[in-house]
Amino acid sequence: MSENDLFDIHRLRAIGRQHWDPVARRNQESSDPGEYDAYILQAAGLALRGGSIADVRDFLLECSAGMGVETDEEASARAAGEIVLEVTRATQGDTDGQ
């Protein structure tokens, strides 16, 4: 089983679109819902391997910068916190999100 099999991609996708969304696509009907999957899954993998919220935030900031968009440290920190929480839930077997 790979790291990605541990995570609920729909939850991670929602985190990315709600909190991170570096290219402001959340309100565009034509946008691809999985547009950020690769980034969010890498961030979740980093958290799974022991990365802190700050590590995940920095990763997301680097991704935003790599896209050539303005980096939003607050949004990246919120997303990082949610991603780390989701990874913790997944690895502790809490599948109902409570």
Mean of per-residue pLDDT scores for the chain: 83
For 62-91, write each residue's pLDDT tens digit.
Answer: 999 988 888 789 999 999 999 999 999 988
| pLDDT score at 69 | 83
Structure-token pair, residue 35: 């547009």
| pLDDT score at 39 | 92
Structure-token pair, residue 75: 């949004």
Whether the predicted pLDDT of 34 surpasses 90? no
25 burial level (CB within 10 Å; 0-12, 13-18, 19+): middle
Q: How many helices (H) and strands (E) does the chain have?
A: 4, 0
For 43-67, write each residue's pLDDT tens digit.
Answer: 999 999 999 999 999 999 999 998 8
Asked if residues 43 and 90 have their Cβ atoms less than 8 Å apart, the reply is: no
pTM of full prediction above 0.75:
yes
Asked if residues 19 and 39 have their Cβ atoms less than 8 Å apart, the reply is: no
Whether the predicted pLDDT of 2 surpasses 60? no
Asked if residues 9 and 43 have their Cβ atoms less than 8 Å apart, the reply is: no
